[in-house]
Amino acid sequence: MTDIEAALFARLITQVPPTTPVFLHEMPQEVGVPFVVFEVGQRSDTRGTAPISTLDIRVACYAPVHADSEALADTARIGLESWWYGTTRLRVHPLAFTGQEAGFEQEFGIYRSAVTFAAQAVQW
């Protein structure tokens, strides 16, 4: 787990209900609902001497009822919107909400609501 993934994990587990597990990248085969899965994508660029990355963050919330997956997604959005992360070597600027989507996972018979964010990260 990268530093930003660890920081996002720590933030998410404090935002969602305590009985809701949070996973990075994908859910395990045997897990009860509700649960949350997040992932971080990164595109890199260099400007001047500091490498700059654009982070794309997706938080997918799963529940047996559509309204519950939407409520979890709203909780994640509120908890992460404008959140920023910083260390002496890495600064992630405030997360900007970029969208929300919903769907039904036919294979598992559960609803999914996902929120997405974008942020700039500068590493020294």
Q: Are strands 96-105 and 110-123 parallel, antiparallel or unpaired?
A: antiparallel
Residue 31 forms part of a structural domain: no
Is the residue at 65 inside a domain? yes
For residue 30, tell me if it sits in a domain.
no
* pLDDT tens-digit series, residues 52-96: 788 899 999 999 999 999 999 999 999 998 888 888 777 888 899
18: CB partners within 8 A, 6+ apart: none
More confident call, 72 vs 123: 72
Nearest-angstrom CA–CA distance, 102 and 123: 34
The pair of three-digit structure tokens given for residue 12, joined into one six-digit string = 């998410």
pLDDT at 124 over 70: no
Task: Tell me the three state secondary structure of residue 65.
Answer: coil
Q: Please report whether residue 58 resides in a domain.
A: yes
Q: CATH no. for residue 15?
A: 3.30.2000.10
Report pLDDT for 4: 86
Total of domains in the chain = 1
List the domain range (segments joined by +) for residue 20.
3-25+36-123
Over the chain, what is the mean pLDDT? Answer: 88
**What pTM was computed for the model?**
0.88
Structure letter (DSSP) for residue 19: T
Which pLDDT value is given to residue 48?
59
Backbone angles phi, psi at 11, to 5 degrees: -70, -45
Q: Does 42 reside within a domain?
A: yes
Supply the pLDDT for residue 47. 59
